[in-house]
Amino acid sequence: MRIVKLNELRETHKIVLLLTLLVMWNFAFLVLDLFQSLWVGILLVDFVIIVFLLQQVSLLVPPQRMSTFEKAVAMGFPIILLGSWELLVRGGILHEEWFPPPTRIIVALWNLTVHYDEFTKTSLLGRFWLIPSIFPKEGWEGVKRLFLESHVNATVLRILAGFVCGSIPGLLVGVFMGMNRIVRTMLDPVISATYVVPKITILPLMMLIFDPFGETYQIVTVGIGVFFLVLINTMTGVRDIDPIFLEAARNYGANRLQLFRHVIIPGALPFIFAGLRLGLGVGLVLVIAIEFLRGVKGVGYITWYFWEIMVVENMYGGLIIIMVLGILTTLGLQRLERWVIPWQREEHVLPESLEG
Partner 1 sequence: MALKIIAKNVTKIFPSPRGRVIAVKGFNIEVNDGEFLCIVGPSGCGKSTFLRILAGLVPPSSGEVRIIPGNKGESKPINNIIFQEYAIFPWKTVRDNVAFGLQMRGIPKNERDKITLEWIQRVGLSKFANSYPHQLSGGMKQRVSIARAFANDPEVLLMDEPLGALDAQTRAVLQEELIRIWEEDKKTVVYITHSIEEAVLLGDRIALMTAHPGTNKAFFDVDFQRPRDLKLTGTPRFAGLCYSIWELLQTEVKQAMEKQL
Rounded least distance, CB 168 to partner 1, Å: 21
Phi first, then psi, for residue 255 (nearest 5°) are: -85, 180
Say how far apart CA 78 and CA 58 lie, in whole Å: 19
Give the x/- contact pattern for partner 1 in 322-341, rule: CB under 8 A.
Answer: -------------------x
The residue among 182 and 350 lying less far from partner 1, judged by its C-beta, is 350
Say how far apart CA 215 and CA 209 lie, in whole Å: 12
The residue among 179 and 206 lying less far from partner 1, judged by its C-beta, is 179
Give the x/- contact pattern for partner 1 in 286-325, rule: CB under 8 A.
Answer: ----------------------------------------
| Burial class of 226 by CB neighbour count within 10 A (0 to 12, 13 to 18, 19+) | buried
Phi first, then psi, for residue 6 (nearest 5°) are: -60, -45
Binds partner 1 (CB under 8 A): choice among 62, 78, 136, 351: 351
The residues, any chain, with a CB within 8 Å of residue 210's CB and separated by 6 or more, are 216, 217, 220
The residue among 190 and 354 lying less far from partner 1, judged by its C-beta, is 354
Are the C-beta atoms of residues 278 and 237 closer than 8 Å to each other?
Answer: no
Rounded least distance, CB 175 to partner 1, Å: 16
Determine the 3-state secondary structure of 123 from DSSP. Answer: strand
Rounded least distance, CB 176 to partner 1, Å: 21
User: Within positions 99 to 138, which residues make up the interface with partner 1, using CB under 8 A?
Assistant: none
- Whole-number Cα distances in Å, 285 to 221, 223, 291, 303: 11, 12, 10, 14
Residue count at the site for partner 1 (CB under 8 A)?
31
The residue among 201 and 353 lying less far from partner 1, judged by its C-beta, is 353
Say how far apart CA 41 and CA 76 lie, in whole Å: 22
* Alpha-carbon torsion (239, 241, 246, 252), positive or negative: negative
The residue among 81 and 340 lying less far from partner 1, judged by its C-beta, is 340
User: Within positions 228 to 267, which residues make up the interface with partner 1, using CB under 8 A?
Assistant: 242, 244-245, 247-255, 258, 262-263, 266-267
Contact positions toward partner 1, by CB under 8 A? 242, 244-245, 247-255, 258, 262-263, 266-267, 269, 341-344, 347-352, 354-356
